[in-house]
Structure 1
Amino acid sequence: MLSRVVTAAVVLAGCTTSAFAWGAAGHEIAATIAQIHLHPSVFPKMCEILNYTSTNPNEPQCHLAPVATWADKLRYKMRWSGPLHYIGAVEDHPSQTCAFPGPRGWQGKYGGNVLGAIRNVTNILEDSVYYSEAGRMNFHSDEMENEALKFLIHFMGDMHMPLHLTGRDRGGNSQKVLFSHRQTNLHSLWDGLLIAKALRSVPRKYNHPLPAPKIEYALRGTIYDSYVRMIMWEGVLGKWEHEVPGWLTCPSTTRSRSISLAFPTSLAAFWEQTLLVWNRITGGGVMDTDDDLICPYYWATPIHALNCELVWPKALDEPPYNNHTRLVNADAHQHQCGSESPANELAQVDSVGRFIGGAPGGPYLELDTPQYSGVITKQWIIEKLLAQAGIRLAGVLNYLFADIEDPEEAKLWRSGQGLRIHV
């Protein structure tokens, strides 16, 4: 029988608009979990694309966490990429109405959202692998492959933050709430505050070595070291062990596996063209992002449902909490930014896990309660979402880059179960 084996910045309410999910540490946690599940043959190809070099013989070939927030850090240079971090349906209004997408489809441009973005960057990398293996000229430059891989790592994390799957009140950025008597907004709460509290509450006992030795070098000393070990020990190879293969399941479709694109004159033009070509081919439909191996819409659907089931409290649409003035922004659909420094997350929490700050105005709904944050903690909601993001990212990367001759071994790695080989 298999032995049981086995990161985060607070988003400030007054921050300038952009599109962050999970904050820095959340993205790094998901990327670290992904790296734990990567086949060894993936690293040389992935590191070559990322242009990673190291002179330290004890350091792993490369690590995903440092590039997990790249798409957010350079957002001001890539303003066109903002809508690619989230998606919203026209009729969606949790907790009252849950539409994903509903009869009138998505808000914004067809394909210009996180689901279409995951499909697009995966296609680019898939094409590049095909060209390389076939000895043919690659239409995509090294720089484009580099950006596509970093986008994929980031977008997979974005997709697993429920409020990045609804357009209501800018993904919750305009919805003021309290958390431990501190005024914040619903998006910020899920971006960083819930993870910050989780990091504070992880017992120190979670220091057992992981089954992937190369990850130890990068993990030790991070603020999420114990947290990742807890998720792995108690979750992935604990309570969720038999669920993990289902996390990578996709319904059968007849969709084409790959789209090849001509090479435009600039990176920005390339990504714009990618969206336009995607729109012409798929028409922006619901399931057109999905195939039998990679299916972001199918994976995102139950995550979106959490907005009505738990994330968006019904009380926010009832007196007295539905009468206060909300935050205003010129772009009503833009999601808001998070901190770029994981260390900032714990700076907002005192020694017993209470958040620092007052709450003028209101009234605002307190969400650090047994009925809200208590349920999230008890049911391991955040931990499961981060684990799913990591394992699905690993599944896609293993599919793209793993060099495995044995069909059964290949099936194991691409189903998220590659760790069984090492345990």
Structure 2
Amino acid sequence: MLQKLITIATVIAGCTTSAVAWGAAGHEIAATIAQIHLHPSVMPTMCAVLNYTSINPNEPQCHLAPPSTWADRLRFRMRWSAPLHYIGSKDDYPSQTCAFPGAHGWEGKQGGNVLGAIRNATNILEDSVYYSKEGKTSALQYDLANEALKFLIHFMGDMHMPLHLTGRDRGGNSDKVLFNGRQTNLHSLWDGLLIAKALRSVPQKYSRPLPSPKIEYALRGTIYDSYVRMIMWEGVLGKWQTQIPEWLECPAPRSRSLSLSFPLSFSSFWQQALFLWDRVMGVMDDTDDDLICPYHWAQPIHALNCEIVWPKALDEPPYNNSRLDGASPHSHQDCASPAVELAQFDKAGHYVGGAKGGPYLELDTPEYSGAISRQWIVEKLLAQAGIRLAGVLNYLFADIEDPEEAKLWSQGLRVDF
């Protein structure tokens, strides 16, 4: 019997240009971890909001993983949403300086970034839950909730990719590097290559089912199932178990009151949401409250850009002249499925994609990719994304009447296996 699994936070991979963070595998892994941690009452409500059978007709059992990549699959129809996948500070220049945001504030439109998008999606869903309980849910509100929920699942994954918290060199897209002697860029390396290489190195023992029905139920027979089992067994239920309550903490409560309402124009509701956000919330700190705090959660993730993500050697000869110019902000190579992402590596875990070139900095080294692997940095980020997403979803949708039971779940002390 697995013990003390955190199940709620609060009361509670052919590639195309994209503007998102983790590749398909990363988003699906984070969403799978989130599903493992959901209160039992949450999935039926969420699956109804997602209208799951209509978006996944070939997969009858409802899962969070497939909707987690929805915002990427429809990106060419939603170009206005591109800035919502990332955030950048005007004073930020890793690895030399990490400012979040710094004296001159954020780049772009106020609130039009991943932190503001998480807050907006949460607010829309809060309104939806309220109207549903009052028996006043309209077709438009249902559609708003459906889209907001898919955005929320995706944006919580985006926020946990460090290079989507910095605007330098388009989040590393402009910085050519080598991986196993093959050319890529810093953003793509973090977006999917580190995860794909890790999938090739999962111990075989994790290919067998674990004594946890809840973990097994959340898996879908994918290429990353063993990786999720390993993260759960050795990370969430192992080395990070005592840290997880800290992952879910938010600062002291702020004064915040916001209820978004929309005219009957479904196609532009996110633009309307951002407009209202600018007028009502003002500064970015107000994305946070005592239950959901994307800015607070993102700060240590952003700090990783100076600690390990951005190599100092990229600012030194001969590698400081290897940048690309002219592409759109934060665009990168995003593979269509986890299987395509994994196919970039041979069975020995060596990257075989990309052309050779240079001189570019080699990052498939013990000092760089080796250190990231040994410290379980990517795995921890994926686990944090999943557990925090579960916390937000449980806060929104969990049906818990007993105050003592709610307290146990809110403190992450509920044993559910």
- What is the deviation of 1:414? 3.7
**Match of 1:301?**
299
Amino acid at match of 1:172: G
Stretch of structure 1 that moved more, 193-202 or 60-69: 60-69
Answer yes or no: is 1:401 the counterpart of 2:400.
no
In the alignment, the residues of structure 2 paired with residue 421 and residue 252 of structure 1 have an alpha-carbon distance, to the nearest angstrom, of 29
Contact 1:223 1:343 in 2 (8 A): yes
Contact 2:182 2:356 in 1 (8 A): no
In the alignment, the residues of structure 1 paired with residue 353 and residue 150 of structure 2 have an alpha-carbon distance, to the nearest angstrom, of 35
Relative to 1, partners in 2 of residues 1:130 and 1:210: Cα closer, same or farther, differing over 3 Å?
A: farther
- What is the deviation of 1:218? 5.4
Consecutive unaligned residues in structure 1, runs of 5 or more: none
- What is the deviation of 1:330? 4.3
In the alignment, the residues of structure 2 paired with residue 110 and residue 173 of structure 1 have an alpha-carbon distance, to the nearest angstrom, of 23
Which structure features the higher share of helix residues? Answer: 2
Structure 2 residue matching 1:148: 3-state secondary structure: helix
Structure 1 residue matching 2:177: 3-state secondary structure: strand
**Match of 2:271?**
272
**Match of 1:364?**
360
Give me the TM-score of the superposition, normalised by structure 2: 0.92
**Match of 2:350?**
354
**Match of 2:416?**
421
5 Å-filtered alignment, 1:1-80, equals: 3=3, 9=13, 15-16=16-17, 18-53=18-53, 62-80=62-80
- What is the deviation of 1:328? 2.6
**Match of 1:163?**
163
- What is the deviation of 1:89? 0.5
Answer yes or no: is 1:120 the counterpart of 2:142.
no
In the alignment, the residues of structure 2 paired with residue 137 and residue 157 of structure 1 have an alpha-carbon distance, to the nearest angstrom, of 28
Say which of 357, 376, 379 aligns to 2:375.
Answer: 379
In the alignment, the residues of structure 2 paired with residue 302 and residue 150 of structure 1 have an alpha-carbon distance, to the nearest angstrom, of 25
**Match of 2:194?**
194
- What is the deviation of 1:335? 3.0
In the alignment, the residues of structure 2 paired with residue 361 and residue 203 of structure 1 have an alpha-carbon distance, to the nearest angstrom, of 33
Consecutive unaligned residues in structure 2, runs of 5 or more: 7-12
Amino acid at match of 1:300: A
- What is the deviation of 1:265? 1.9
Structure 2 residue matching 1:410: 3-state secondary structure: helix
Contact 1:127 1:258 in 2 (8 A): no
Amino acid at match of 2:296: Y
Stretch of structure 1 that moved more, 227-236 or 41-50: 41-50
Relative to 1, partners in 2 of residues 1:413 and 1:280: Cα closer, same or farther, differing over 3 Å?
A: same
In the alignment, the residues of structure 1 paired with residue 407 and residue 207 of structure 2 have an alpha-carbon distance, to the nearest angstrom, of 30
Answer yes or no: is 1:176 the counterpart of 2:172.
no
- What is the deviation of 1:214? 5.4
Higher relative contact order (CA 8 A, sep 6+): 2
Q: CA RMSD in A?
A: 2.2
Contact 1:182 1:357 in 2 (8 A): yes
Answer yes or no: is 1:237 the counterpart of 2:237.
yes
Amino acid at match of 2:378: I
Contact 2:20 2:330 in 1 (8 A): no
Relative to 1, partners in 2 of residues 1:346 and 1:166: Cα closer, same or farther, differing over 3 Å?
A: same
In the alignment, the residues of structure 2 paired with residue 170 and residue 201 of structure 1 have an alpha-carbon distance, to the nearest angstrom, of 30
In the alignment, the residues of structure 2 paired with residue 338 and residue 329 of structure 1 have an alpha-carbon distance, to the nearest angstrom, of 18
In the alignment, the residues of structure 1 paired with residue 65 and residue 137 of structure 2 have an alpha-carbon distance, to the nearest angstrom, of 31
Contact 2:4 2:413 in 1 (8 A): no
Amino acid at match of 2:248: L
1:220-267 per-residue CA deviation (whole Å, 9 max, x = no partner) reads 521001100000000001000011111110011223254222324232
Amino acid at match of 1:280: R
Stretch of structure 1 that moved more, 350-359 or 399-408: 350-359
Relative to 1, partners in 2 of residues 1:404 and 1:271: Cα closer, same or farther, differing over 3 Å?
A: same
In the alignment, the residues of structure 2 paired with residue 392 and residue 95 of structure 1 have an alpha-carbon distance, to the nearest angstrom, of 27
Relative to 1, partners in 2 of residues 1:413 and 1:257: Cα closer, same or farther, differing over 3 Å?
A: farther
Say which of 290, 304, 309 aligns to 2:288.
Answer: 290
**Match of 1:329?**
326
In the alignment, the residues of structure 2 paired with residue 167 and residue 299 of structure 1 have an alpha-carbon distance, to the nearest angstrom, of 18
Stretch of structure 1 that moved more, 139-148 or 310-319: 139-148
Relative to 1, partners in 2 of residues 1:322 and 1:241: Cα closer, same or farther, differing over 3 Å?
A: same
Structure 2 residue matching 1:322: 3-state secondary structure: helix
Give me the TM-score of the superposition, normalised by structure 1: 0.91
**Match of 1:314?**
312
Amino acid at match of 1:327: L
Contact 2:84 2:117 in 1 (8 A): yes
Amino acid at match of 1:80: W
In the alignment, the residues of structure 1 paired with residue 5 and residue 402 of structure 2 have an alpha-carbon distance, to the nearest angstrom, of 24
